[in-house]
Structure 1
Amino acid sequence: MTALLSAQQRDALERWLAHLRALDGAAANTITAYGRDVTGFLAFLATHRGGAEGTAALASLPLQDIRAWMAHERARGLSARSLARALSAVKRFTAWIADREGSDATALLSTRGPKFRRKLPRPLSEDGARAMLDSVGDQSREDWIAARDTAVVTLLYGCGLRISEALGLTGAAHPLPDILRITGKGGKTRLVPVLPAARAAVADYVRLCPFDLTASEALFRGARGGPLNPRLIALAMERTRLQLGLPATATPHALRHSFATHLLSAGGDLRAIQELLGHASLSTTQAYTAVDAARLMEVYEKAHPRA
Structure 2
Amino acid sequence: MLSPGLADALEAWLRQLGAIEGASPATVTAYRTDVVGFLSFLQQHFGDSAGTGVVAQVGLRDMRAWMAHERARGLSSRSLARALSSVKSFARWLAQRDGFEPTAILSARSPKFRRKLPRPLSVDAARSVVDLAAAQAREPWVAARDTAVVTLLWGCGLRISEALGLTGAHADPGTALRITGKGGKERMVPVLPAARDAVCAYAAACPFELTPDAPLFRGVRGGALNPRLVQKVIESARLQLGLPASATPHALRHSFATHLLDAGGDLRAIQELLGHGSLSTTQAYTAVDTARLMEVYSRAHPRG
Normalising TM by the smaller chain, what interval? over 0.9
Counterpart of 1:225 in structure 2 is 222
Instruction: Percent identity, please.
Output: 68
Whether 2:273 is the aligned partner of 1:271: answer no
Whether 2:190 is the aligned partner of 1:193: answer yes
Q: Distance in 1 between matches of 2:206 and 2:163?
A: 17
- Please identify, of 167-176 and 142-151, the stretch whose mean Cα deviation from structure 2 is larger: 142-151
Counterpart of 2:162 in structure 1 is 165
Amino acid at match of 1:161: L
Contact kept? 1:56, 1:103, Cα under 8 Å: no
Q: Residue 216 and residue 228 in structure 1: after superposition, are their counterparts in 2 closer, same or farther (change >3 A)? A: same
Q: C-alpha deviations, 1:50-103, integer Å up to 9, x for none?
A: 352311221111333322322222222221101110111011101111111110
- Given the alignment, which residue of 171, 174, 178 partners 1:177? 174
Whether 2:42 is the aligned partner of 1:45: answer yes
Whether 2:279 is the aligned partner of 1:282: answer yes
Q: Distance in 2 between matches of 1:57 and 1:51?
A: 7
Q: C-alpha deviations, 1:238-287, integer Å up to 9, x for none?
A: 11100000111110110010000000001111111111111122222111
Q: CA deviation at 1:26?
A: 1.7
For the residue of structure 1 that corresponds to 2:20, the secondary structure is helix
Whether 2:88 is the aligned partner of 1:91: answer yes
Q: Distance in 2 between matches of 1:180 and 1:189?
A: 10
Whether 2:129 is the aligned partner of 1:106: answer no
Amino acid at match of 1:136: A
Q: Which runs of 5+ in 1 are unaligned?
A: none
Q: Residue 57 and residue 46 in structure 1: after superposition, are their counterparts in 2 closer, same or farther (change >3 A)? A: closer
Amino acid at match of 2:142: I
Q: Distance in 1 between matches of 2:294 and 2:111?
A: 31
Q: C-alpha deviations, 1:179-206, integer Å up to 9, x for none?
A: 1111111111111110111111111211
Q: Distance in 1 between matches of 2:91 and 2:145?
A: 46
The list of structure 1 runs, each at least 4 consecutive aligned residues, that deviate by more than 6 angstroms after superposition, is none
Q: How large is the RMSD of aligned CA atoms in angstroms?
A: 1.4
Counterpart of 1:249 in structure 2 is 246
Contact kept? 1:151, 1:202, Cα under 8 Å: yes
For the residue of structure 2 that corresponds to 1:12, the secondary structure is helix
Q: Distance in 2 between matches of 1:266 and 1:301?
A: 16
Whether 2:298 is the aligned partner of 1:304: answer no
Q: Distance in 1 between matches of 2:149 and 2:137?
A: 14
Contact kept? 1:59, 1:106, Cα under 8 Å: no
Whether 2:208 is the aligned partner of 1:211: answer yes
Q: Distance in 2 between matches of 1:166 and 1:108?
A: 39
**Number of matched pairs:** 304
Q: Distance in 2 between matches of 1:29 and 1:38?
A: 14
Aligned pairs for 1:133-172 within 5 A = 133-172=130-169
Task: Please report the TM-score for the alignment, with normalisation by the length of structure 1.
Answer: 0.95
Q: Residue 73 and residue 139 in structure 1: after superposition, are their counterparts in 2 closer, same or farther (change >3 A)? A: farther
Q: CA deviation at 1:293?
A: 3.1
Q: Distance in 1 between matches of 2:223 and 2:72?
A: 41
For the residue of structure 2 that corresponds to 1:52, the secondary structure is coil
- Please identify, of 186-195 and 16-25, the stretch whose mean Cα deviation from structure 2 is larger: 16-25
Q: Which runs of 5+ in 2 are unaligned?
A: none
Counterpart of 1:21 in structure 2 is 18
For the residue of structure 2 that corresponds to 1:24, the secondary structure is coil
